[in-house]
Chain A
Amino acid sequence: MKIKNNQYSVFFFLALLSCLCMYFNKHISSVIMTPFTILLSPLPSEKHMADNSARILELENMLAVKEEEIERLGEIFDNIEALKSVHNHEPEIIIEAGILLSRDSTDNRNSFIINKGSKDGVELMSLVTYKKYLLGIVYKLSAYSSIVIQVSDPKMKISVLIQLPDKNKKLKIYDRGLSIGQSKQSCKVKLIKWQSGREFAFEKIDEEWALTGKAITSGLEEMYAPGFAIGDVKVKKLENKNYSFSIFPISLKKVSNVLVSKVIK
């Protein structure tokens, strides 16, 4: 009987601690995330030199690192250019970040962790982008890392318009849609009275984007600037006289560096 009582008391004590953690969620999660960030970050290289061959090896390594750095800076430059072309205003903050972990620990949520946090100037609800793609928003912050919820997470609801090319090199624009994250790296767009789309000639739209169907933020919410791509349109279905689209966001495997930005309103 005593053992049973102990079991109950331990259970209630730990459950209470969990509830306290949930109550102080923001503070505790930011503290807990820090050791994981340190664990995941690459270790600094050691600077020992034995002889000339070691020196040559070190110089070769340095050259490789510099080449990698040039490639990375080129990518960041492309990202910033793409971001500027999307935003109507100059972004207030632009921070370059790398992806530490590309998946959430639970199966039903879609998030990833970036290696920049509040000490680097990242703020909650900042947009995380890769070129013209919107990847998600910063949802949890720690000092040196942040958790970003992806556009395919069930929490995300973004107003979008969809552009679909047809055989006659014309684009059909379907507007007033709402992209809802479905987990498993996909979104679904529910349509509001989208029985027929408006037609545009190809020349008016970005040619690269015109070749495949794209879901693009329409900017109805203040939070998401218009013009960011959410993902590629793969499936189009007719449901209750309205079209329904499945959207597949860009795979994080293709992404190395991202930009965190916030716009002055």
Chain B
Amino acid sequence: MKLHLSILFGVLFLFIGVVVLPNIGFEHHRPDLIAILCIHIIIYNENDRAVLFQTWLIGLLKDALSVEIFGFQSLMLLSFSFILLRIKQSINLKDSLILYLLILLYTFQSQLLHSMIIFVRYEIDLTIISLKSAVITTIFSPFVFFILNLWHKRV
């Protein structure tokens, strides 16, 4: 996926996640569309540097609309992308079973890391919430992947 398309989808998914989903019943647990987009970029983009740059930029977009320290989400997405790029060299991530397992783990891991930081700072345990979000994201991922794949094939 090219840079401008990644940014476009990043902004679109961010707004869907923040504006649309809470108004159609996903007020407490929302699928992490940005995480699905990042995984799509990691799997289908051959240029590793472009993957790192695109996921980092998408992280910055997420940072802009969050109360968290600016740069935190981008650093987290960048680190996870780097790890997945290493894994990609030895495992075929396009296999559907591995793919959905990967989405589950990726979302859970990033949410869990965030929850751990919140636990250290404010002593609030959000582990269950992280797991629920990861499951919902995995359930949503085939639809999002279908849309992204359509674009990917057209381009």
Residues of A within 8 A of B (CB): 3, 6-7, 10-11, 14-15, 17-22, 25, 28-29, 32-33, 36, 101-109, 111, 113, 139-140, 147, 149, 153-155, 180-185, 253
Contacts and interface: CB of A to CB of B under 8 A. Distances in A.
Contacts of B30: 107
8 contacts: A7-B48, A10-B49, A19-B71, A21-B74, A36-B64, A104-B66, A180-B124, A253-B23
Contact of B69 (A25, A102, A105): A25
B63 A21 contact: yes
Contacts of A113: 65
A14 B56 contact: yes
Contacts of B74: 14, 18, 21
Nearest to A14: B56
B75 A15 contact: yes
Contacts of A17: 56, 71
Q: Size range of the interface on B?
A: 35 or more
Contacts of B126: 108, 154, 183
B100 interface: no
Contact of B52 (A7, A29, A104, A184): A7
B140 interface: no
B82 A11 contact: yes
Contacts of B152: none
Given A25-B69, A180-B124, A10 B52 contact: yes
B79 interface: yes
